[in-house]
């Protein structure tokens, strides 16, 4: 029993000496971590506000650059903490190099996301506010971060997409160009006047102020289907007006066709029955 008490006393003395010897360093390291974390958030916010005041600054660059500043401050804080315990700078660099290599091998996918994010910012296939489709990943771009791109789907759902997934996909940007072409098909019966139908549909597009005069709207017979003559309507509009004009023309084209005394056929089949006499 006395031996156990002696061992316990020696253990407590060792702890006491360690606390006395390393206490200031541990306290300094904790304070450095707290201050470094606060400074990282402060400088991130400062850079964000400064970039927002820069004329013609692309909104997609702001979160990426501010995040890089934050992580740079955190790395400096980590080095300062190690120096509290007497670790030399050369040793710190060696440790960081070894740790970076190990982390790089373990987190290849994460590093790919960082590299992909940098390439997306350099080549600019899309910007904040653009509506894109990247091999089925569809939504409005809200921000390009260090690892992911924040998007909002058409039904308002938040989506965080890894940057590498976007970089390795075919990207269709529906918002990039200032104008877009609307193309719709309207079918009429074979007994209707094709020239008259083309005329009323062309007039419908020309009367809409949102339809651009150059290139001029067009109508043409595109297909002779089994139950209808298909007339294709084409017009150009501003990208922001695309969907409103699309739905308006689709609704009004039915009204003008029927108002002109023509009909819109639907697929149908005639079944002829023959009675076979028994012999």
**Tens of pLDDT along 12-51?**
555 555 555 555 666 777 777 788 888 888 888 887 888 7
d(CA 74, CA 40) in angstroms, rounded, equals 6
- Three-point CA angle 157, 150, 175, nearest 5°: 85
Instruction: Name residues whose C-beta falls within 8 Å of residue 137's C-beta, 6 or more positions apart in sequence.
Output: 151, 159, 161, 165, 166, 169
What local confidence, expressed as pLDDT, does residue 147 receive? 83
Cis ω on the peptide bond leading into residue 179 (within 30° of 0)?
no
pTM over 0.85: no
42-81: buried (b, 16+ CB within 10 Å) or exposed (e) per residue?
A: eebeebbeebeeeeeeeebbbbbbbbebbeebbeebbbbb
What local confidence, expressed as pLDDT, does residue 116 receive? 86
d(CA 267, CA 182) in angstroms, rounded, equals 25
d(CA 38, CA 35) in angstroms, rounded, equals 5
What local confidence, expressed as pLDDT, does residue 156 receive? 92
Instruction: Name residues whose C-beta falls within 8 Å of residue 251's C-beta, 6 or more positions apart in sequence.
Output: none
Q: How far is CA 227 from the centre of its chain?
A: 43
d(CA 134, CA 166) in angstroms, rounded, equals 6
What local confidence, expressed as pLDDT, does residue 140 receive? 94
What local confidence, expressed as pLDDT, does residue 104 receive? 58
Reference 189, options 197, 181, 180; nearest CA is 197
What local confidence, expressed as pLDDT, does residue 253 receive? 94
Give pLDDT < 70 ranges for the chain: 1-26, 55-61, 84-109, 268-270, 278-279
Structure tokens at 230: 């298909």
Reference 64, options 113, 20, 105, 8; nearest CA is 113
What local confidence, expressed as pLDDT, does residue 241 receive? 94
């Amino acid at each position: 029993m006395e031996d156990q008490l002696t061992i316990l006393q020696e253990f407590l003395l060792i702890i006491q000496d360690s606390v006395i010897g390393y206490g200031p360093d541990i306290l300094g390291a904790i304070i450095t971590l707290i201050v470094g974390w606060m400074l990282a958030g402060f400088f991130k916010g400062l850079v964000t506000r400064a970039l927002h005041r820069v004329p013609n600054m692309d909104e997609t660059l702001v979160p990426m650059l501010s995040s890089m500043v934050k992580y740079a401050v955190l790395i400096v804080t980590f080095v300062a903490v190690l120096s509290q315990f007497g670790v030399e700078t050369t040793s710190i660099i060696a440790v960081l190099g070894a740790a970076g290599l190990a982390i790089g091998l373990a987190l290849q996918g994460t590093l790919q996301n960082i590299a992909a994010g940098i390439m997306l910012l350099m080549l600019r296939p899309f910007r904040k506010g653009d509506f894109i489709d990247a091999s089925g990943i569809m939504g409005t771009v809200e921000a390009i971060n260090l690892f992911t791109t924040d998007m909002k789907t058409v039904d308002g759902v938040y989506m965080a997409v890894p940057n590498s997934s976007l970089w390795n996909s075919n990207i269709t940007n529906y918002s990039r160009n200032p104008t877009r072409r609307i193309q719709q098909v309207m079918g009429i019966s074979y007994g209707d006047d094709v020239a008259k139908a083309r005329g009323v549909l062309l007039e419908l597009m020309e009367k809409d102020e949102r339809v651009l005069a150059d290139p001029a709207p067009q109508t043409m017979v595109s297909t002779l289907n089994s139950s209808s003559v298909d007339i294709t309507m084409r017009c150009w509009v501003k990208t922001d007006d695309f969907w409103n004009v699309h739905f308006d023309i689709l609704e009004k084209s039915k009204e003008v066709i029927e108002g002109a005394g023509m009909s819109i056929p639907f697929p149908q089949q005639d079944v002829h029955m023959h009675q076979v006499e028994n012999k």
